[in-house]
Structure 1
Amino acid sequence: MCENDHGIDRRALFVTGAAAALTLGAVSFPESAAAANGQETRTVRGTLPTGSPDYVYLPVEVPAGVREIKVAYTYDKPSVPAGTQGNALDIGIFDERGTELGGKGFRGWSGGARSEFFLRADEATPGYVPGPVRPGTWHIALGPYTVAPQGLAYEVTITLAYGASGRTPTPVYPPSRAKGRGRAWYRGDCHLHSWHSDGRRTPAEIAALARAAGLDFINSSDHNTHASHPHWADQAGDDLLIMLGEEVTTRNGHVVALGTDPGTFVDWRYRARDNRFGRFAREIHRAGGLVVPAHPHATCVGCGWKFGFTDADAVEVWNGPYTPDDEVMLAEWDNTLVAAVREGRGRWLPAMGSSDAHRDPDAVGSPQTVVLADDLSRPAIQEGIRAGRSYVAESQHVSLAFSAVGDRGEHAGIGERLKVARDTSVTVRLEVRGAPRCTVHLVTDQGTLFTSDPLPVSGTGTVEWRTTAAYAAYVRAELRHETAAGPLPGALAAVTNPIFLGGA
């Protein structure tokens, strides 16, 4: 074993601090170890001060003949004053193809979820991509997520095992179509985490929970890695469409890449000030995916969405159990609808909801997005989401039928436009099942204009409201539980995308 110290002094940080990343001195291994068909270990220690770059790269010179690379790391977690962030250090690795933004050399990322990982041709730690360990300069990527005032002291141990390389399996991916029911309402959860990132469930466990939650489709969305994609194939079936994606976890917000082509990796190493998000949004689109900002007002460090919604296809207004940050996002989303009406834009931003489930007791399918699609296929589900033909429900037990009808029989459903004259009488109708004691709220560009009495304990009911396009540019429905206390609205049981009125 050989040990090295990699300190970063204040002057070095000052010189490199304007960059998004810092590269340390290289770690090398002797060529002679390959002949012995054994293994060699190197340990590196260093300290990162506060204000460190987002990513620090540790180069590793990998000689020929390496069968496996294994990395383990630790870092200190000193006590910090109240209100101050402590140490958190993420980790991943890039191979000899380099660390250039775009990810050609990307071989895996576990963030802060694991203290060690390995890669070889035939297998890798979940979150990492198996493949040959080719000679050249590899880079261990350290991500100082937060750094305590005392600095972040770390230790990284690299072990190279020599010998014959195994055979890399050919990846098999889930099909892009399931049996389905023709044109119908399909239920899905598009934000889920497996043990390939910071989740604790296997793909098999997630698929079983999805079926139990009455879901027809799911989307894989592990943080900053596509390594799980080949591990979903044997979980798909006629009853469950499995789409593939990633939660792109930047320092200025998270975005779900929904339904990308199998094997697509989307880089995350940028901030809003770098003006690079548009490039990667286009990459998601080129890979056949949708761009969906996730939990835009979540309070975790780096979770708040700073990139705007210009490139978004939909937005997650409800993430997991309903909380105040979801209420804030619901109001912000409603403002985007008003802006679309005001500016006369045909394009508007549809709402979604997902569980963001990681581990017990997180409930897969709570909430879930219910989509009207022509069939149970990746293109059809994506088209329904993009068009806003969907609503969000807290569980499979809640079902809605929402429509607007003109006085001459004109009809529109969720995500559509009822083309009637401004003064034409319009009847808005909502049918509800599975929401005992909930109240219906009909919301327009003016705000909430109708609130029902609580539904009966059976959870079934129908409400109607009459308006005109001159009075309401759009109508959407919220289904809320009884208010817990004071003037605060009750938590959502369901929320629909709007029906737009007018434009005849």
Structure 2
Amino acid sequence: MERRDVLRLSAAAGTAGTLPLGRLSFAEAAPATGPHPDGPAEQQRTVTGRLPVGAPDFVYLPVDVPHGVREIAVAYRYDKPPVPDGTAGNACDIGIFDERGTAPGGAGFRGWSGGARTEFFLRADDATPGYLPGPVNAGTWHIALGPYTVAPQGLAYEVTVTLRHGPPGTTPTPVHPPERARGRGRAWYRGDSHLHSVHSDGKRTPARIAALARAAGLDFITTTEHNTTASHRAWEGLWGDDLLILTGEEVTTRNGHVVAMGTDPGVFIDWRYRARDHAFGRYARAIRRAGGLVIPAHPHAPCVGCSWKFGLADADAVEVWNGPYGPDDEITLATWDDALVAHVRDGAAWLPAVGHSDAHRDPDVVGLPQTVVLADDLSRRALLDGIRAGRAWIAESAGIDLAFTVTGPRGEHAGIGERLALPGPAAVTARLAVSGAPGCTVSFVTDQGRRHTAPLPPSGTGTLTWSTTPDNAAYIRVEVRHPSTAADLPGPMAALTNPIFLGRW
């Protein structure tokens, strides 16, 4: 399965509706069942129904859970009738809310698996990946169905709920990653902050991801499962002095996805809204209150629900490069560059660029690409501060290294994300030292576009310079590209930087 197909299948969210569904009620007690009469009592109920075209983004199946339940298990299925060419077929996601309700903000949230699983369970001491262990308290729970796309014939569903009675068990205290690793003091740190495991629609375990991150030369990663925080407690024993693990979430709405990077462990960010609901700003503020960054992900991905519709006013950075560099990344890069020009014109805040792998499964490459951040130390706060300030560049692998500065006539200098405050006519020199990029070409890009391009030596290691003035360049950024693989199209990206701004405005 291609990575873009995974994005399409996992995308789900939107405004909840009031479409009535059947209600599942259970007795207070149940007789022992099965071949083991001393085993826990068990009850099972099944409900069926059909969702029409135009069904609300979310519908809820109430489940009346009695006292004495140790475990709740849910299985579901839905039909997939043939549809005409060019018409979306049925796809329906699933999750669950406990007796605390389904209100926005997620107080009752207990897990989400989207379309990645057909069954799950929860109890105090354990839960299916993507779901939160905890007590199964009496009250009305809700199975959330998310009809992502509905065929013209409608979507026929069947949900089976099994309750198992018995001692409630004990919920382990979650062990979350520390916020700091040893690091190298103020230095450039490499990380990948958009990753998926078995706790959403990925196929890799956290242990496997941590091993791949170390093999890729990364200093930090962020766990960002679709619409769940279940993975936050899953990394015990996997961090170390050489690898910092941040917690987060990929908030996956029907109008785009956002990486909530570096949020406090266990903090859930709701996703059940569209751009028309004027709610995103509230949830962006919730991400920041939880200590995280708001980073729109793959803004121009072609899958349904994946492209970004909320605007960039509430963002802290933008993911301009997602996985292997492709046409949608090229569009995002151009849009981001337009925003830099708007910053120069209007003085509005500018958005730094980041890149992440969005890796889900083999053969997705963890660290392709990776964001390289200048931070005071290897800690959550320092890394997020570095990204927020734009002290970052993006590389396809740890094999590429670069240093980019702009200097003035009297030794004044600025680095990535900084400003060289000189008068308009002052002569400035941009200097890029790069290694690990054989066959690549370097371009210095300004608000006027690509201004100077030169090939690297065959070794892929070299230093290039270009001179200009603040009058002629409001900012300079760098692109390092592989040779073009298609006529009239630029080559795939090997590395790119955030800008260095020029002038005193």
Please say whether Structure 1 and Structure 2 have the same fold, judged by a TM-score greater than 0.5: yes
Q: Tell me if structure 2 keeps the 8 A contact 1:72–1:115.
A: yes
Counterpart mapping for 1:13-412 below 5 A = 20-33=17-30, 37-345=40-348, 347-412=349-414
- Please, what TM-score do these two structures have when normalized by structure 2? 0.95
Q: Determine the structure 1 residue equivalent to 2:421.
A: 419
Amino acid at match of 2:315: A
Q: Is residue 480 of structure 1 aligned with residue 481 of structure 2?
A: yes
8 Å contact 1:34–1:163 — kept in the other structure? no
Aligned counterparts of 2:72 and 2:422: Cα–Cα separation in 1: 66
| 2-structure distance, mates of 1:130, 1:503 | 55
Contact 1:34 1:65 in 2 (8 A): no
Q: Is 1:430 aligned with 2:416?
A: no
Matches of 2:235 and 2:299, distance apart in 1: 28
Whether contact under 8 Å (1:175, 1:233) holds in the other structure is no
Question: Distance in 1 between the 2:31 and 2:228 partners?
Answer: 31
| TM, length-normalised to structure 1 | 0.95
Seq. identity, %: 71
CA contact (8 A) 2:15 2:58 kept: no
Report the alpha carbon displacement of residue 483 of structure 1 after superposing the two structures with TM. Answer: 1.0
- For 1:174 and 1:64, the matched residues in 2 are separated by 35
CA distance in 1, matches of 2:315, 2:233: 27
**Given that residues 401 and 431 in structure 1 are in contact (C-alpha distance below 8 angstroms), is that contact kept between their aligned partners in structure 2?**
yes
**Aligned partners of 2:237, 2:143: CA distance in 1, in Å?**
32
Are the structure 2 counterparts of residues 383 and 68 from structure 1 closer, same or farther at C-alpha, using a change threshold of 3 Å?
same
| 3-state SS, counterpart of residue 210 of structure 1 | helix
Distance 2:20 2:387 in 1: 42
Question: Separation in 1 of the partners of 2:19 and 2:352?
Answer: 39
Deviation at 1:22, TM superposition (A): 3.1
CA–CA distance in structure 1, aligned partners of residues 15 and 424 of structure 2: 55
SS at match of 2:210: helix
Tell me by how many angstroms 1:33 deviates. 1.3
Distance 1:18 1:278, change over 3 A: closer
Q: How far 1:336 moved relative to its partner?
A: 0.5
Q: Deviations over 1:391-450 (max 9, x none)?
A: 000000011100000001000000000011110000000111000010001110010110
Please report how far the alpha carbon of residue 213 of structure 1 lies from its aligned counterpart in structure 2 after TM superposition: 0.2
- SS state of the match for residue 318, structure 1? strand
Post-superposition CA distance 1:370-406 (Å, at most 9, x none)? 0011100000000000000010000000111000000
Take 2:171 and 2:31, find their aligned partners in 1: how far apart are those partners? 21
CA contact (8 A) 2:95 2:111 kept: yes
- The letter for the 1-side match of 2:459 is S
Alignment check: 8 A CA contact 2:16 2:58 kept: no
Q: How many residues align?
A: 486
Q: Residues 22 and 47 of structure 2 are in contact (CA less than 8 Å); yes or no, is this contact kept in structure 1?
A: no
In structure 2, the partner of 1:11 is none
8 Å CA contact 2:15, 2:272 repeated in 1: no
Match of 2:446 among 444, 447, 456: 444
Paired residue for 1:455?
456
CA contact (8 A) 2:29 2:68 kept: no
Check whether the contact 1:444–1:473 (CA below 8 A) recurs between aligned residues: yes
Is the CA contact (8 Å cut-off) linking 1:257 and 1:284 kept in structure 2? yes
State the SS of the aligned residue for 1:130.
coil
Q: Secondary structure at the match of 1:233?
A: coil
Q: CA deviation at 1:25?
A: 3.2
Distance across 1 between alignment mates of 2:17 and 2:396: 40
Tell me what 2:36 maps to: none
In structure 1, runs of 5+ residues without a counterpart are 1-16
| Amino acid in the other structure paired with 2:443 | H
Is residue 440–residue 456 contact of structure 2 (8 Å, CA) maintained in 1?
yes
User: What is the one-letter code of the residue matched to 1:467?
Assistant: T
> How many Å separate the matches in 2 of 1:366 and 1:129?
30
Q: Deviation per CA, 1:188-221: give whole Å up to 9, x if none.
A: 0000001000000111100000000000000000
Q: Secondary structure at the match of 2:328?
A: helix
The structural deviation recorded for 1:21 is 4.6
Following superposition, which runs of at least 4 residues in structure 1 exceed 4 angstroms of deviation? 34-37
Q: Deviations over 1:340-369 (max 9, x none)?
A: 000023x21000000000000000000000
Aligned counterparts of 1:409 and 1:233: Cα–Cα separation in 2: 48
Q: Tell me the SS of whatever aligns to 2:127.
A: coil
Q: 1:21 to 1:245 in 2, by over 3 A?
A: farther
- Give the equivalent residue in structure 2 for 1:500: 501
Aligned CA distance change for structure 1 residues 159 and 18 (closer, same or farther; 3 Å) = closer
Closer, same or farther: CA 476–31 of 1 in aligned 2, 3 Å: same
State the one-letter code of the partner of 2:430. Answer: V
**Change over 3 Å in CA distance of 1:21–1:198 after alignment to 2:** farther
In structure 2, C-alpha distance between the alignment counterparts of 1:279 and 1:213, rounded to whole Å: 36
Structure 2 portions without partners, runs of 5+:
1-13, 34-39
Query: Compared with structure 1, are the counterparts of its residues 297 and 203 closer, same or farther at alpha carbon in structure 2 (3 Å cutoff)?
Result: same
C-alpha contact 1:34 1:66 (8 A) present in aligned 2: no
Q: Which structure would you say has the larger RCO, counting Cα contacts within 8 Å and 6 or more residues apart?
A: 2
